[in-house]
Every structure is written in structure tokens, then in C-alpha cells.
Structure 1
Amino acid sequence: MNYLHYAEKYMMDTYKYLPVVFTHAKGCKLYDISDKEYLDFTSGIGVMALGHGNKKWTKAVKDQLDKLVHTSNIVLNVPILELAKKLTKVSNMSKVFFCNSGTEANECAIKLARKYSFEKYGKGRNTIITLNRSFHGRTMASLEATGEEELHKYFYPFPEGFKHVDINPTALEKAVDSNVCAIMIEAVQGEGGVNPLSREFVNKVFEIAEKNDILVICDEVQCGLGRTGKLYGFNNYGVQPDIISVAKALGGGLPMGATLCNEKLKNAFKYGDHGSTFGGNPVCAAGAVEILNQITDENFLEKVSKKGIFIKNFFKNKPSKNIREVRGIGLMVGVEINGKASEIQKEVLKKGLLVLTAGTDNVVRILPPLIITKKELEKGLNIIYEAIDNM
């Protein structure tokens, strides 16, 4: 049966689908309709942190399905309360709002920052500074927050109140004025090309924020929850933001996002200021609790760091004229090449490997499940290297 024809006939043309249809998965392996095996270096764009078919996560979700699937946000359920307690504590934050995605988590962060500033300073102090090459989502405010002009065309007018700046301290300082209420950053820009921010720049963000009573929002949707070998990407810089947005890995494959705030913002939202019908779903929450149980183990995160070093050393020991740079932290790595990453993506797919692209189609993005073995890593890296070197 030609399932790919179904996509062309019935689905909007929002994605460039690779010529493969998957039916099942286990660990770091995916299997297509002909049962061909593929090594997964994407983890569903950073979602499947524990790999596919994690037994403890699956049991937590199945058990909750038999108990309670959905209520509403006018009542409470046990899994969401357990998750709220655990997530705030491990994040060193005070309160949390649950939603369904990273985009929604960032929308909440934007509203929360503006509400706090309005209550403290009144009207007009509502501008949020974001970075060029950033990515914060697809809804109208989060898309305008995204510092990639190519994604903005066709969709004007956008909500007001955003400034995009280059990633350097001077540009940041020039952008700050009395209307700015927050600065929003990703510790590692994923979609923009896997660009880790420099320690100098991150320090400047927090220095400016403290001096001007400006909030710092860390978008940890892709680089958070163990991806960099720390719980959050910003933990690599020794800082603590006012607001954190998370999603992707939190749900383990189910739609789950969250926005966390610190002590000074904990009472900024009042009744009716924000909401989400499916936010706090008990099934998603039960799975998220198990995700946190596993990734917050110190040995787990240490192993992720070592695997990241393994990737860097692999390419260091096998230079190629077609590789410009290898960058990233932990298991969030970008290989910038002299050519089109999308062509490499298609080539390695033929060899049974699934990878991502980033930047202006010149970065092969490596985001495997955090449980991947070094043997699996080496197999996939050799396939990538061969494809790039033979371009």
C-alpha cells in the first residue's frame, strides 16, 4: 500500500516528508512498513529522551489510562500535583503552569513576563528582546519572538513588543531601554544551527537583567531536560533564570509543556489570566513524572556528557574538507558542512540512519535518544562522516 500517497492527498503541505513510513520502534531503532531497521539520531526532534518503548514510562502511562484520562482545569488530579512538586523542586523554581507544547510554554512565558512588568511598572514596559537565529514556536507571538525573518513572511501583522538582536554584548546593551521587560534566550539554539551561546554573552544577559530589573526567560524546549548533560542548558553557564519553558522530552512522546517561574513571579498570574483545556492532563503527567525520575539521576546525566565528548572526539580524529565546524553540548550536536544538509539527510536515510538538519540547510543536527550506546553512536557517526566526506 502506498501510504506516502495518503500524505500528498490528505495532508497539508507543511513538511517535506522523507520517503519512509514507520510502524514501530524500540530503544534507538525505528522500523518501516517493510520492517527495515533505522538508527534514530533525531529522537523525534529531541522528544524521545529515553528512547522508544521505555518500559517504566509505558507502564506509568498505561496504568494511568486505566484510572483517569481527563478531567478539566477546574479540578485537580494526582499525577499533575506530583509532577508540579517534582518539576519545580528539581528546577529550583517556585510554581509551574502546564500546557501541551513548547510553543504554548513560550506564549505563557511571554504573557507572564508582561503581566509581572505591568503590575510593577504600569503600561508601556512590555518589550521582549530575543536573539537572531532563535526559534521559539509557530503561534503568532512565539513566531514573532523567533529571530528568523524567513519564517515571518506571509503572516503579518504580528503582535508588537519584540526586538531581535545579534548575539553579541554590544548589540544587546544598545537594545535595552525603559520599555524592555524581558530577555529571552536559548542556551543552545537548535533550529538556528545548534549554536551554544558563549559564557561571556550569557553573563552579559544576566548582568544587564539584574541592573535594569529585566526578567530572563530561558527557552529550554529543545536543549533542556538532560539534552546537554545537565538538567537544563543554562546549567552549563552557572545561572538561574526567572522563567523556564520546557516541552519535548517532558512528555516522552505525549504532548506536554510547562512554564516555570521563580519566587518573585509566583503570584503574577491571577484567576483568568491564562489557561489550557488539556494542560495538566493526568496521562501525560504520569509519563512526565517517570521521565524526570530517570533523567535526574546524576549518573544518567554524566553519561550524556561523556557521549557528547565521544561525538566531538570522533570528528576531531576524522577531519574532512567538507566539514567546517562541529559544535554543541552533550547530545545536541551540529555538524556544519560545505553543502546541503538535506542532501546528507537523504543519503544517510538510504543507509538506515535518521538525522535532522538545522540552520540554512548547512548543518547536520544530531539529537539521538539520551540512552543511546557508544556502539550505536559510532555506527551512525561513521555513516554521517562517509556521506559528508564523499559529497
Structure 2
Amino acid sequence: MLLNVYNRFPVNFVKGEGLTLIDDKGDRYLDFVSGIAVNALGHAHPKMVETIQKQAETLLHVSNLYYNEAQNKAAEKLLEATKYERVFFCNSGAEANELALKIARKYGKGISPSKNVILYMKNSFHGRTTGTLAVTGQEKYQADYRPLIPNTVEVEFNNVAELKAKFNDDICAIILEPVQGEGGLASASSEFIAEIKALSEKHNSLVIFDEIQCGLSRTGTVLYSDQLPLKADVVTLAKALGGGVPIGACITKGRANEILVPGDHGSTYGGNPFVCSVAYTVLSEITTPEFLANVRKMSDYARQKLSELQVKHPEIEEIRGQGLLLGFKLKENLAAGDFVKKALEHKLLLVAAGGNVVRYFPALIVTEKEIDATIPILDQVFTEMKK
């Protein structure tokens, strides 16, 4: 019935409450996937439900031929929280990255016909469109779809020497996830970020941060890059922005603001009143100082608990990630995919990432009690897998 593009787990969920998912048999699961960092406020958050009901009775769609108040409010809230200047709303992270690439290419063309090369990172993930695949540094995603768009060059993440060797005046932009998601939760080093800043200034190139997974409060600041000494020209967002409804955003500042003109880009559904009203509600919750402080508190607590587990189970090679974008890398004797399947049997939802990493992504409203509830399950999975 469905196109065969997912290896789905054998469970059918029918209801959600906070960090709990309930299947069609009535079994309850603790959700530490959060729709892959989407459900920032958990499931069926009352303020989201209220907004959805109210907006459904008011206005769903009018197209971008006209202004709508929900889009205006969402834009104002997002730009105020991120300190950026312009935004385009679309339907997904991949679409946001497509727009970022178009901005980069047109920017370069305005300087020189040869300034059209985009640097991207090995093990990155920016989407599954033919454009974003060209800057997704994983052969398993690219192989069957070549030829991809030209003039994209891969750089090893955190390899300063290689970055220097490949950066030149033909580079119109560099795109990276400051914390790689699908690539295994590796974080950009301070040396790498400093070199990107220096080289992009030297060669007059745009910097694009893909914060689709690490942005919007998951690391305890509105943008993860708020913690970095480099503010990108373009930032792409999605996932947590809608808390479960499909919306993405591409935000810009400075020289990136005015590159595109009417007719250069568009989206039929992007920024419709329905999704923007929900995004406004989500942003109003997750960007307050009190909410961010609690994310940082829960992050410290979760990392502490995972560290204690690592002492008992040295099969955990490393705890990775930032904030509540957490995960643990397993040693080669255990496979992350097998670990996730075994955890599912114990009613704990996890998801694997590259590099044999198990992602641990609770909703941002997680409590100490819910974190505590995962530890004996993880302990049991380790014990069973070692037998």
C-alpha cells in the first residue's frame, strides 16, 4: 500500500500524551525519539491543541499572494528569538536547505561567474532532494542518484588542514550542521569554526548553518550557534519549529537578505496560516529564558545518568551531542540498530545514527522522572545484548 522507502518498526501508534506513545493494543511506550527531534513539546500539548482547533475554524490557507497575520506573527517571533532579519517559511528542512543553496549560488554569481562552488561536510545530512543530496556527505544516500548538481566539494568535518586546502575565491558558500545529526552527533570544534569564520571572510563566502536538528532550543539556547563565535549568514530550521506540523524556515541576515527578488523562489503551502499559528505557539513556549534554563538543567541531568550507565557498561564508548540532542556511541561488539530494536521490546523508543550511535532525543519538556525511567531499560538492554 505504501511506497517501500522505510523499514518501519512493527508498531502502530494511535495516541500520544507528553512523552508517552500508545499503540493500537493499548501498550504505552516512552518516546525518546520525539519524531526525530520534532516533538519539542511532546504529544498533544494543550496549548498546541488549542491553537490547532482555533486556527482550523478560522483560516487554513490563502497562498503567498497575500499577507496573513499568522505568518507575520510567526516571522516576528522567530526573528526576535534568533536575532536574524529575514525569513522564508517552507514545508520542510530539505526545502529550507534548497533555498539556502539557491541564495548561495546567486550570491556567488553576483560576484564572479566562477564563484559557484559549495563546500559541505563528510557525514553530513541536509535532505533527500536532488539538490540537498549533492551536499549530503554520505555515499549511501548519493550513489543511486548521480549525476548530482555540480560544483560541490566535500570536506572532512573538523579537518582544519583540508578546509584550508579546499577553500578559495570560487567558494560561494560553506554549509554545515554545527552538530551533525544523522552523522553521529559529532560537534564542530572551536578550531574548525574559527577557521570557517576566517576563511569565509577572506574569500567573501557565505556561511550556512543547518540547525534543523540542533536548533530551536534543543541545546539550551534558541540556536545552537548562539554558543559559537560565528553567526552564519543563513540558518535553516524545521523539525521543532512546528512541534509536529510540517514547516521549515530559512533565516538570513546582512548580505544574504536581499539576494533573491520576487520570482526567484516560492512555495504554495509554505507559511500558511495553519502551520504558522502552531509555530508561533511553539516558539512562544520554547524560547523563554525559563524554558531554556530547564532544557540545560535536564541536559545536565540526562548526561549525568548516561555517564553513570557508561561506568557500568563500558560498551558505551562515548557520550555525544549537546543539550538534549544526546546520544551514545557503542563499541563495535554491539550494533546501534540492534540496540534500538531491543529497546523497543522494552517499550522505549530510540533511534540510531551514523557511526554506531544511539540517539537519545526526549521532548524538551522531559522531567527527571522520565529520564530516570529510561536508565533501567537501557541497563537491561545492555545486559541482554551481552549474553
Q: CA deviation at 1:24?
A: 0.4
Match among 339, 342, 345 for residue 347 of structure 1: 342
For residues 116-149 of structure 1, the C-alpha deviation after alignment (integer angstroms, 9 at most, x for no partner) is: 2222x13221111111111000000101110111
Secondary structure of 1:145's partner?
coil
Match of 2:42 in 1: 51
Match among 52, 74, 77 for residue 65 of structure 2: 74
Match among 350, 365, 371 for residue 371 of structure 1: 365
Partners of 2:131 and 2:378 in 1: CA distance: 36
Range with greater deviation from structure 2 (123-132 or 24-33) = 123-132
Partners of 1:353 and 1:47 in 2: CA distance: 17
Secondary structure of 1:326's partner?
strand
Paired AA for residue 341 in structure 1 = A
Partners of 1:105 and 1:385 in 2: CA distance: 39
1:141 aligns with 2:131: yes
Runs (4+) of structure 1 exceeding 4 A deviation are: none
Match of 2:190 in 1: 199
Q: CA deviation at 1:177?
A: 1.6
Partners of 1:41 and 1:297 in 2: CA distance: 23
Match of 2:315 in 1: 322
Q: CA deviation at 1:377?
A: 0.8
C-alpha contact 1:323 1:388 (8 A) present in aligned 2: no
C-alpha contact 1:112 1:268 (8 A) present in aligned 2: yes
Match of 2:294 in 1: 303
Q: CA deviation at 1:239?
A: 2.4
C-alpha contact 1:337 1:388 (8 A) present in aligned 2: no
Match of 1:5 in 2: none
Match among 80, 83, 88 for residue 92 of structure 1: 83
Partners of 2:375 and 2:238 in 1: CA distance: 27
For residues 224-243 of structure 1, the C-alpha deviation after alignment (integer angstroms, 9 at most, x for no partner) is: 10111111111222321100
Partners of 1:159 and 1:315 in 2: CA distance: 41
Match of 1:380 in 2: 374
Paired AA for residue 43 in structure 2 = H
Partners of 1:283 and 1:351 in 2: CA distance: 37
Secondary structure of 2:22's partner?
strand
Range with greater deviation from structure 2 (234-243 or 371-380) = 234-243
Partners of 2:108 and 2:145 in 1: CA distance: 28
Give the percent of matched residue pairs that are identical in Structure 1 and Structure 2: 38
Secondary structure of 2:143's partner?
coil
Q: CA deviation at 1:316?
A: 2.2
Paired AA for residue 28 in structure 2 = E
Match of 2:156 in 1: 166
Secondary structure of 1:287's partner?
helix
Partners of 2:379 and 2:183 in 1: CA distance: 22
- 1:1-20 alignment to 2 at 5 Å? 10-20=1-11
Name the TM-score, length of structure 1 as normaliser: 0.95
Secondary structure of 1:25's partner?
strand
Match among 167, 184, 189 for residue 180 of structure 2: 189
Secondary structure of 1:163's partner?
strand
Partners of 2:166 and 2:60 in 1: CA distance: 46
Range with greater deviation from structure 2 (349-358 or 315-324) = 315-324
Partners of 1:175 and 1:384 in 2: CA distance: 43
C-alpha contact 2:31 2:348 (8 A) present in aligned 1: yes
Structure 1 gaps, min length 5: 1-9
Partners of 1:92 and 1:147 in 2: CA distance: 29
Number of matched pairs: 380
Q: CA deviation at 1:389?
A: 4.3
For residues 342-369 of structure 1, the C-alpha deviation after alignment (integer angstroms, 9 at most, x for no partner) is: 1111111111110010014x11101110
Secondary structure of 1:325's partner?
strand
Match of 1:177 in 2: 168
C-alpha contact 2:134 2:149 (8 A) present in aligned 1: yes
Paired AA for residue 375 in structure 1 = K
In structure 2, the CA distance between the partners of 1:31 and 1:322, relative to structure 1 (3 Å rule), is: same
Partners of 2:322 and 2:314 in 1: CA distance: 23
Pairwise CA RMSD: 1.1
Q: CA deviation at 1:372?
A: 0.8
C-alpha contact 2:194 2:229 (8 A) present in aligned 1: no
Q: CA deviation at 1:373?
A: 0.7
1:128 aligns with 2:128: no
For residues 265-300 of structure 1, the C-alpha deviation after alignment (integer angstroms, 9 at most, x for no partner) is: 211111110011000110000000011101111111
